[in-house]
Amino acid sequence: MAEEIKKVYQEVNRITQELIRCGLAEEYNFPVIQGTDIVWSKYCNISCYLKNMEYSAIYAEIEKEHNYNIKLPDGGMIQLMYRFDLSGMLLMSHRLAFYPSPSYEIYQNNSEIYDEDSIYGDILNKDVLPVVIRADYNRDVVESEIHHPFSHITLGGYKNCRIPADKPISPISFVKFIMEHFYYVPSINWEFDFDMKKVVSFEEHLAERDKIKSHLVI
């Protein structure tokens, strides 16, 4: 097994184990390597989720098929998918996604999940709007007049919302971002390891014209 694909696989496995350890993984699938792809044990083609579907239908389909790495206690789901070239050394693409639950009522009424309302207060408020977060990378993107950075963050499924990132994103970096900005209180209460060090380090891959624009530094 090539060293780079091995490192990413190990890092996905490590962050999965950490979420299990601290009680933030309600359900989970460990990573697997399929050819030059790193996916999860119950993976099935996710292309249908990128089509014009209502979010509640997308979420229900993913949940029904257990098509994720991690399902969090409030119903949020995390997917971590990487693809390498035939040598297993060069990252070609990744798709990292966070799908929040479109309805929190069943979790609000389930007292066994939450010890204190204050732990999940922020994400269970009725005025919270679920927003899908995706981090995509594609080495084969052709630069054109259309603004499409190699590595970018997409919010809410908006087609033209592509916030440039300076490089591909490691599994631990993505999950720590979700935990810190959306699950900080439960993460602290359940002692999620925010000091966990990533072992994967990707090189910067940012188009010259994007360097003068606002972008995320990972």
Q: Please check whether residue 215 lies inside any domain of the structure.
A: no
Domain containing residue 67 = 3-210
What pLDDT was estimated at residue 126?
Answer: 58
Q: Please check whether residue 217 lies inside any domain of the structure.
A: no
Q: How confident is the model at residue 55 (pLDDT cuts 50, 70, 90)?
A: confident
Q: What is the mean pLDDT of the chain?
A: 82
What pLDDT was estimated at residue 127?
Answer: 58
Which tokens belong to 154?
């997409």
Q: pTM score, two decimals?
A: 0.84
Q: How confident is the model at residue 82 (pLDDT cuts 50, 70, 90)?
A: very high
- The total of structural domains in the chain comes to 1
Q: Please check whether residue 82 lies inside any domain of the structure.
A: yes
Looking at the predicted structure, is the pLDDT value of residue 108 above 60? no
Q: Please check whether residue 146 lies inside any domain of the structure.
A: yes
Q: How confident is the model at residue 104 (pLDDT cuts 50, 70, 90)?
A: low
Q: Please check whether residue 158 lies inside any domain of the structure.
A: yes
Residue type, 199: V
Q: Pick from 216, 124, 122: which is nearest to 167 by CA?
A: 216
Looking at the predicted structure, is the pLDDT value of residue 158 above 50? yes
Q: Please check whether residue 216 lies inside any domain of the structure.
A: no
First-to-final CA distance of the chain: 27
* CA–CA gap between residue 175 and residue 2 (Å, rounded): 24
Phi, psi of 74 (to 5 degrees): -90, 5
47-51, 86-90, 168-172: which has the highest mean pLDDT?
168-172
Which tokens belong to 27?
């359900």
Mean pLDDT in residue range 111-130: 54
What pLDDT was estimated at residue 188?
Answer: 87
Mean pLDDT in residue range 113-135: 63
* CA–CA gap between residue 31 and residue 43 (Å, rounded): 9
What pLDDT was estimated at residue 115?
Answer: 47
Percentage of the chain modeled with pLDDT above 70: 76
